[in-house]
Amino acid sequence: MNDQQQSGPERPDEPADVEHTLRLPGEQAQQQAPQQAQQQAPQQAQQQAQQQAQQQAPQQAPQGYPQYGQYGQQPYGRYGAQQQGAHAQQGAPSYVPSGPASYSPTQQQGRVYPQPYAGYGTAGPSYPQAERKEKRRGALWPVAVLALVVGLVGGAVGGAVVDQWQEATQDPGRTSGGLADVDTVSKAPLPADNGSIAAVAKKTLPSTVQIIAKTGGDESSGATGSGFFLDSQGHVVTNNHVVAEAADGGEIEVIDQAGKRYPATVVGRSPIYDLAVLYLKNPPKDIKPASLGNSTNLQIGEGVVAIGSPLGLSSTVTSGIVSALDRPVTTGGDANNVASYINAVQTDAAINPGNSGGPLVDMRGQVVGVNSAIATTGGSLGGESGNIGVGFAIPIEQVKVTADQILKDGEARYPVIGASVDSDGSGDGAHIKDVEKGSPAEQAGLEKGDVVTALNDRAVTDSPTLIVAIRSHLPGDEVTLTVDRDGQTKKLQVTLDSKVG
């Protein structure tokens, strides 16, 4: 499941020309309605006029607010040729998940996007456009300045919600009723039960960070996301799409839970798996690494917690369950048109722009995935509508392998068979388009025109499913391909080769 300026104690400043205040849906119309009634009726008829105006008020649409589901442009959203272990045909749709009970080009059910960077479009279905006032602020906002052009609610929702919350809690006496004046409840915090969401949050929040990536020193462009400490030496795991455009010549900053900022460099990236490892230039001595779990032990229905900085709101905790396992998901390509294929953990925990790279944690407080993508009901390419309860995370077992390769060699490798596949979504398997000479596929006897219907015991319904199945293994693994050739079923043993990516 990109992302945005931080909120809370160390939230980056908002734009110099914008200050946001929250107005709930219908609030503006309801406040104006009594005044309109008073102007149109004598004093003795005010009550009747007010009732009529209030009945009409909810029908008035907030002014200037984009329709629910409209999002800003995603800088990380280039859908290009797919150069993979089993290569998909160039031009194949790379923004839809695939596989059984998934989203396919023929189903037209939704789109999958890597979590966009803060400010490059946001979710906020219930908030009208914020008021605008002149006020000078700091300079960090340009990281998300595109929101002012195409989304605006990127800054409005994040800042306005926090401002409203602070206002409500600072003056409890303003609430209706008399409970605020009666001290009948202990103010001491309740202990967090082991295995509770509170206990998971307490354990994992100190290991979670926010990441700001600015492109080539250009204050007007960049991305933000989330991540977590991999070790006590200062290595951080995040999504490749969070830092990709700042990896060469840009600036990357990591912000910990306490709000302290650290410059960071990229140790290595894997566009294929949408993962990256960063290193803090001056790491603190009190780093608390995240506890890594085992995604192979996950069960559908068990509880999980997502932690990150959605919409720039740092240290945000949401919860849900594991909705599905081994979900084939394809996300848009990077700057070099390399798409990411994820053998994903699906969850209904709320994941929004800003959660990219953050941890998905089980109820033992162990990281079981890296939040990377969401499915949306956006009606057009590039459109998004925020969290709808369908989020995807990269399994931690894959993260461990890729991060270890990057730390040892500065690069990651992924398995290939040396064949390309058509991009059609026929549902009967992966159609082999070409076989490279001397490749493992050729040595195993795979031929052009073959239809792969299974890899080991895993059914293959289309090309992305085959690619994801291959990439869930390691280079050097031997796998069994079930192939349909002219109506006859064949079993082929293939030893996986590797490429850098």
Is position 207 annotated as part of the catalytic site?
Answer: no
- Residues 337 and 351: their CA atoms lie apart, in Å, by 25
Q: Can you give the three-state secondary structure of 36-105, one letter per residue?
A: HHHHHCCHHHHHHHHHHHHHHHHHCCCCCCCCCCCCCCCCCCECCCCCCCEEECCCCCCCCCCCCCCCCC
Pairing of strands 261-270, 251-255: antiparallel
- Residues 459 and 479: their CA atoms lie apart, in Å, by 13
Q: Which of 20, 87, 235, 241 is catalytic?
A: 241
Is position 241 annotated as part of the catalytic site?
Answer: yes
**Backbone angles phi and psi of 290, in degrees to 5:** -70, 150
Q: Which of 356, 420, 463, 472 is catalytic?
A: 356
Q: Which of 3, 256, 274, 422 is catalytic?
A: 274
Is position 356 annotated as part of the catalytic site?
Answer: yes
**Backbone angles phi and psi of 266, in degrees to 5:** -90, 120
**Backbone angles phi and psi of 275, in degrees to 5:** -130, 155
Task: Find all residues with CB under 8 Å of 498, minimum gap 6, and list them.
Answer: 413, 414, 415, 416, 475, 476
- Residues 345 and 359: their CA atoms lie apart, in Å, by 12
- 3-class SS of residue 180: helix
Q: Can you give the three-state secondary structure of 246-306, one letter per residue?
A: HCCCCEEEEECCCCCEEEEEEEEEECCCCEEEEEECCCCCCCCCCCECCHHHCCCCCEEEE
- Residues 298 and 327: their CA atoms lie apart, in Å, by 13
């966009």: which residue's tokens? 116
Q: Which residues are catalytic?
A: 241, 274, 356
